[in-house]
């Protein structure tokens, strides 16, 4: 029997209830050989302490060039490999220091707590107009109505991307993040996104504006701070990470509240709890969930298991955040939870640069929704989770707005 015969397989059924497998693995095998969709082989880490250690261990690398080579070796023979956008991979999340440090410095300032504080009134305005637009409806799908357009509009405005393009971009990224899309679909979406980002950069070159993309184009032109591929990749990463994650923080947060009406009532009664509630939503149904990957540059021992060099380590953030060793009563939503040291934004040098923005957007969107619709409820339609190892998010979130 080979190691792969005993491996955990992440198949289509996993996505509808990952917590069952996570809980079993934390108990019986916290570092296990795993086969991800499309045959990628790695080691799945499911406990909080191990996940935290792995995320900040410099012996684990994210270098995309080497990771690409290792992918050939660490996959089941014959599995299809989508060919997509080498020119979109040269971004900070796929790099180690010193390149990682150089790239992160270029955008860090735009996303500090202070930097995003200035955006709050605009986020409130966007939220209000979206809530106004559904005020007369009986039932809506909250994803297209609120959870998607809030972060997408904000990141587009910050970067200087035309609002009209956001649906197309959202469509491509949904395909890129889906494990059920075919390799042809993924390749096509990758080509379309690449062409789109290139066109966007050209438009900033010919018509500079007061936005983050123009600032990045200027950094590219100014000496050796940013290569052309890095510029394209950074734009792609910010657009992707700027919305694909936060849409699910908002929607998963609302779902958690609607399934725990006493918690929703407590939050309505005391909106000052919102920041703490958002931390709990991040922990409870973490938007970046199953597979944040790195590879070992030397043998590394995790929870007593020796992982050889040049193999992928897959951190299940969504599992770490339900570990009873780190969170009492982990499967219960508690918006007043204290000491919530979740790993939803990662840990170490790649800790999410957009965390202050995501938190603020979620506070505004969820706070605004609760205040406006006191009788908000689920419609009872069965919910379907997207099939993605990166993202935990719903296809749709139908609710009754319940105006009296
Ligand atoms: C990195 C989660 C929102 C931009 C990360 C990482 C996680 C994460 C887990 C680290 C991945 C790893 O180490 O493998 C989230 C969640 C979000 C969110 C859960 C929302 C709820 C955002 C937003 C942006 C953003 C709004 C903004 C533009 C980034 C970038 C990185 C990153 C650029 C790479 C940082 C680096 O490599 O140094 N995010 N993110 N994210 N995130 Fe976020």
Asked whether 104 lines ligand 1 (CB < 6 A), one says yes
d(CA 139, CA 381): 11
* Residue 1 confidence (pLDDT): 42
Q: Are 376 and 7 in contact (CB under 8 A)?
A: no
Q: Which atom of ligand 1 is nearest to the CA of 93?
A: 37
The residue whose CB lies within 8 Å of the most ligand 1 atoms, and thus the one to mutate among 91, 245, 340, is: 245
Q: Which atom of ligand 1 is nearest to the CA of 107?
A: 33
Asked whether 242 lines ligand 1 (CB < 6 A), one says yes
Separation of CA 2 and ligand 1 centre (Å): 36
Separation of CA 245 and ligand 1 centre (Å): 8
Interacting residues of 303 by C-beta distance below 8 A, sequence separation 6+: 30, 31, 45, 47, 50
What are 238's two structure tokens?
Answer: 């910010």
ipTM of the assembly? 0.98
d(CA 48, CA 90): 29
Asked whether 237 lines ligand 1 (CB < 6 A), one says yes
Separation of CA 358 and ligand 1 centre (Å): 9
d(CA 247, CA 394): 10
d(CA 342, CA 347): 9
**Beta strands, E only, 58-111:** 60-61
Separation of CA 359 and ligand 1 centre (Å): 12
Which letter does DSSP use for residue 12 in this model?
Answer: G
Separation of CA 193 and ligand 1 centre (Å): 19
Asked whether 150 lines ligand 1 (CB < 6 A), one says no
Nearest CA to ligand 1 atom 18: 245
d(CA 165, CA 175): 16
- Longest Cα pair distance anywhere in the chain, in angstroms? 63
* Residue 79 confidence (pLDDT): 84
Nearest CA to ligand 1 atom 24: 354
Per-residue pLDDT of the chain (404 residues; tens, 9 = 90+): 455 558 999 988 999 999 999 999 999 999 999 999 889 999 999 999 999 999 999 999 999 999 999 998 999 988 877 776 678 899 999 999 999 999 999 888 889 988 899 999 999 999 999 999 999 999 999 999 999 999 999 999 999 998 888 888 888 888 888 888 888 888 888 889 889 999 999 999 999 999 999 989 988 777 767 898 999 999 999 999 988 899 999 999 999 999 999 999 999 999 999 999 999 999 999 999 998 999 999 999 999 999 999 999 999 999 999 999 999 999 999 999 999 999 999 999 999 999 999 999 999 999 999 999 999 999 989 999 999 999 999 999 999 998 64
């Amino acid at each position: 029997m080979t190691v792969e015969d005993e491996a955990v397989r992440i198949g289509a059924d996993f996505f509808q209830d990952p917590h069952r497998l996570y809980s079993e693995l934390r108990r019986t095998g916290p570092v296990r050989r795993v086969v991800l969709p499309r045959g990628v082989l790695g080691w799945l880490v499911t406990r909080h302490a191990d996940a935290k250690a792995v995320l900040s261990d410099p012996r684990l690398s994210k270098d995309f060039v080497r990771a690409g080579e290792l992918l050939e070796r660490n996959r089941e023979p014959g599995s299809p490999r989508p060919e997509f956008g080498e020119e979109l991979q040269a971004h900070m999340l796929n790099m180690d220091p010193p390149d990682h440090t150089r790239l992160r410095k270029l955008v860090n300032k735009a996303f500090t707590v202070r930097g995003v504080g200035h955006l709050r009134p605009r986020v409130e305005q966007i939220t209000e107009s979206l809530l106004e637009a559904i005020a007369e409806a009986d039932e809506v799908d909250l994803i297209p109505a609120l959870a998607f357009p809030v972060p997408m509009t904000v990141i587009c405005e910050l970067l200087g991307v035309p609002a009209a393009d956001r649906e197309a971009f959202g469509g491509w990224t949904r395909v890129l993040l889906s494990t059920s899309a075919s390799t042809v679909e993924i390749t096509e979406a990758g080509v379309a996104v690449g062409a789109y980002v290139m066109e966007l950069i050209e438009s900033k070159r010919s018509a500079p504006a007061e936005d983050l993309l123009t600032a990045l184009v200027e950094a590219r032109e100014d000496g050796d701070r940013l290569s052309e591929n890095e510029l394209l990749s950074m734009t792609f990463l910010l657009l992707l990470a700027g919305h694909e994650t936060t849409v699910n923080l908002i929607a998963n947060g609302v779902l958690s509240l609607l399934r725990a009406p006493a918690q929703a009532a407590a939050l309505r009664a005391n909106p000052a709890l919102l920041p703490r509630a958002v931390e709990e939503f991040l922990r409870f149904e973490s938007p970046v969930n199953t597979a944040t990957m790195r590879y070992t540059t030397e043998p590394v021992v995790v929870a007593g298991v020796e992982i050889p060099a040049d193999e992928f380590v897959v951190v299940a953030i969504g599992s770490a955040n339900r570990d009873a060793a780190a969170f009492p009563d982990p499967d219960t939503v508690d918006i007043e939870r204290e000491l919530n040291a979740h790993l939803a934004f990662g840990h170490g040098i790649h800790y999410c640069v957009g965390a202050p923005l995501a938190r603020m957007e979620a506070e505004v969107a969820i706070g605004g929704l609760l205040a406006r619709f006191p009788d908000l409820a689920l419609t009872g339609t069965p919910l379907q989770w997207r099939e993605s190892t990166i993202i935990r998010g719903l296809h749709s979130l139908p609710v009754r707005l319940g105006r009296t």
